[in-house]
Amino acid sequence: MFEPTGTYAPATTRYDTMLYKRCGASGLKLPAISLGFWRNFGDITPYDQMKALVLTAFDHGITHFDLANNYGPEPGAAEKNAGRLIRQYLAAHRDELVISTKAGYEMWSGPYGDWGSRKYLLASLDQSLERLGLDYVDIFYHHRPDPETPLEETMGALAQAVASGKALYVGLSNYDGPQLERAATILDELHVPFIINQNKYNIFDRTVERNGLKDTAKHLGKGLITFCPLAQGLLTDRYLNGIPADSRVAHDPRFLHADDVTRVHGQIMALNEIAKQRGQTLAEMSLAWLLHDDAVTSVLAGASKPQQIIDNIGALKNTDFSDEELKAIDEISMQ
């Protein structure tokens, strides 16, 4: 299945500087920085750009690529493009990769293409594997809780995914602490290797601290991988001096609006001063802030340029924070 058609020799130094953290109490380790395929691997992105991102990541020890059935645009496109890249350039290195995908949001029309039924999850996984050109994924997530499907049914579908050999591990995304605890009880009874939670977490968004997810995951020995670590670019130098004409806010305000930038601009500037005192960019400090927490296994960061990947990895140079720095960051971000 994996006959390479491109020429690529990965860097021999790719494992020299990356930090790998054990995923909860499991045997699986993830790179501290993982590559997300959410928005920059759809059909609107030039293929050579996607290739540069993936190979730059792997050359620097990023072995985990995170996808979902609906990532694009259009839905399914990210998996198709990831499959093509793996087939052409990384086929010989499949056993060095952790490939994850998810199902839980709307993927096709009708009553069977959304949420958490057994029919939807297992059909979606088959479709994902076909698009990826893989026999299995390393991690298969339920993407969001389903308030109408019995939790036993959803967790049973994850168990079947593992039993069939189509997933090695399972994960949950966007669950809170109590939901996680109930799901983990069912999965443990089914002897399913449930190892990880994927949730939004950054300096500005502390939901996982308030809803019990982070504490419960740590207590149960489950990993936590965080998405949106830079708050859609707010926690970078992108908006220090206003809203650039070529920014996402200026052209696509669906996920970040100009009012959001204005509302937290003072906090961004104050956080940037702390970062400068640490000898870091705001983005580096924001990633390091997540990774200083032993509850966090990996930080899931997207990129549109290879240099952004390299810059993100720079956060690993200093993930230690003084109590005074942590207190100041909390006081600023929670204003």
**pLDDT 10s digits, 57-112:** 999 999 999 999 999 999 999 999 999 999 999 999 999 999 999 999 999 999 99
What is the C-alpha separation between 310 and 216, in angstroms, rounded?
32
Cβ atoms of residues 276 and 237 within 8 Å? no
Residue 102 has φ and ψ, to the nearest 5°, of -145, 165
The whole-model pTM stands at 0.95
Query: For the segment 170-219, what is each residue's pLDDT rounded down to a tens digit?
Result: 999 999 999 999 999 999 999 999 999 999 999 999 999 999 999 999 99
CA distances from 195 to 88, 190, 200, 206, 261 (A): 30, 14, 17, 22, 35
Q: What CATH number should be reported for the domain whose range is 20-231+285-321?
A: 3.20.20.100
**pLDDT given at position 259:** 83
Query: For the segment 259-301, what is each residue's pLDDT rounded down to a tens digit?
Result: 888 889 999 999 999 999 999 999 999 999 999 999 999 999 9
Beta strand spans in the chain (E): 20-22, 29-31, 33-36, 64-66, 98-103, 137-142, 167-173, 194-200, 223-227, 298-301
Any idea where the domains of the chain sit in the sequence? 20-231+285-321
Looking at the DSSP bridge assignments, the partners of residue 29 are 22
What is the C-alpha separation between 106 and 117, in angstroms, rounded?
12
* Average pLDDT along the chain: 95
Q: What percent of the chain is modeled with pLDDT above 70?
A: 95
Interhelix angle 151-163/118-132, rounded to 10 degrees, is: 40
**pLDDT given at position 253:** 66
Cβ atoms of residues 234 and 244 within 8 Å? no
332 contacts: CB under 8 Å, gap ≥ 6: 267, 270, 271, 274
Nearest to 14 by CA among 82, 63, 64, 86: 63
Beta strand spans in 39-119 (E): 64-66, 98-103
Which two tokens mark 279?
């000898």
The continuous run of DSSP H or E covering 216 comes out as: helix 213-220
**pLDDT given at position 30:** 98
Tell me the Cα Rg of the chain. Answer: 19
In terms of phi and psi (left: phi > 0; alpha: psi -120 to 50; beta: otherwise), the region of 198 is beta
The residue behind tokens 């939670």 is 197
